[in-house]
Amino acid sequence: MDPGLGFGKSREGNMELVRRLAEFRSLGCPILIGASRKSFTGPATGGATQERLSASLAVAAIAIVNGASVLRVHDVREAVEAALMADAVKAAGARDGNRGSTDA
């Protein structure tokens, strides 16, 4: 299921969609997110279209933590690294009951 980031939505609407992505899990199907280089990521960083890698990766990582299982991206290697890190953070949260770690 692709909620369609960027298609007829305001910047705030896209941000809310990413933030509330977990609510789509009740549909029982994989959630796809395509945030790569989308215009809604520009204002937060001030980057032009080709300079939105960090913003795109941040949205991808947040989407994974919030339930996305498929990413549509332009920068594959970087997105894989961000996805692996997001999965690691998500798994660590599951292990400690989402309480937050007390490790120093």
Residue-range definition of the domain harbouring residue 42? 11-95
- Catalytic status, residue 25: no
The answer to whether position 72 is within a domain reads: yes
Express each pLDDT in 19-36 by its tens digit: 999 999 899 999 999 988
Using DSSP, state whether 67 is helix, strand or coil.
Answer: coil
Tokens linked to 33: 């997110």
How far from each other are the two terminal CA atoms of the chain, in whole angstroms?
39
* CA proximity to 32, closest of 77, 79, 78: 79
- Catalytic status, residue 77: no
The answer to whether position 5 is within a domain reads: no
The answer to whether position 70 is within a domain reads: yes
Domains: count for the chain: 1
The structure's pTM equals 0.81
The answer to whether position 21 is within a domain reads: yes
Of the residues 25, 72, 95, 99, only one is catalytic, namely: 72
Of the residues 11, 38, 52, 77, only one is catalytic, namely: 38
The answer to whether position 81 is within a domain reads: yes
The answer to whether position 75 is within a domain reads: yes
The answer to whether position 15 is within a domain reads: yes
* CA proximity to 17, closest of 37, 33, 28: 33
pLDDT, mean of residues 87-96: 86
Express each pLDDT in 45-74 by its tens digit: 887 777 889 999 999 999 999 999 999 999
The answer to whether position 20 is within a domain reads: yes
